[in-house]
């Protein structure tokens, strides 16, 4: 996806959590807890990643993208496909995408990263106000 902004990578947390699992300090029951809702989203809106599940190693992980943002209204908190994200990035000023990996075999799930998409045009008065003030002080 192009035009990703403010990318937050969660690879370190993921690695730390997996290290706990491999060391036996955390049971797979505790980390393989994808909800039926998340598993369903993976089935209908997910896209296969090239990464094999780090816990059960039975199948490639599925990536699910959840969208959040005030502008999205009823779409906020829903899972979207890559095509939908591309379309939405031209329709909305700004929204954040949370990319979660899910194993449909063992239910391992983890936040991979999040980023902001959108045209960058913020329509709320607060931002117009701020930019006007900035212009005035220049």
- For Zn ion, the binding residues (CB under 5 A) are 53, 55-56, 103, 105-106, 108
**Cα gap 125→123, rounded to integer Å:** 6
**Cα gap 91→85, rounded to integer Å:** 10
Comparison of 55 and 100: residue with beta carbon closer to Zn ion = 55
Comparison of 34 and 67: residue with beta carbon closer to Zn ion = 34
State the minimum distance, in angstroms, from the CB of residue 60 to Zn ion.
10
State the minimum distance, in angstroms, from the CB of residue 115 to Zn ion.
25
- Diameter of the chain measured on Cα atoms: 60
Number of neighbours of residue 51 by Cβ within 10 angstroms: 13
Comparison of 76 and 106: residue with beta carbon closer to Zn ion = 106
**Cα gap 101→5, rounded to integer Å:** 20
State the minimum distance, in angstroms, from the CB of residue 49 to Zn ion.
12
């Amino acid at each position: 996806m192009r035009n990703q902004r403010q990318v937050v990578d969660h690879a370190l947390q993921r690695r730390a959590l997996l290290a706990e699992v491999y060391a036996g300090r955390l049971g797979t029951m505790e980390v393989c807890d994808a909800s039926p809702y998340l598993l369903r989203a993976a089935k209908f809106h997910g896209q296969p990643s090239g990464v094999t599940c780090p816990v059960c190693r039975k199948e490639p992980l599925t990536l699910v993208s959840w969208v959040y943002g005030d502008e999205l209204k009823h779409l906020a908190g829903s899972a979207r496909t890559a095509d939908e994200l591309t379309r939405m990035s031209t329709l909305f000023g700004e929204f954040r995408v949370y990319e979660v990996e899910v194993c449909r075999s063992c239910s391992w799930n983890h936040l991979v990263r999040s980023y902001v998409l959108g045209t960058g045009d913020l329509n709320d008065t607060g931002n117009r106000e701020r930019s006007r003030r900035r212009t005035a002080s220049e």
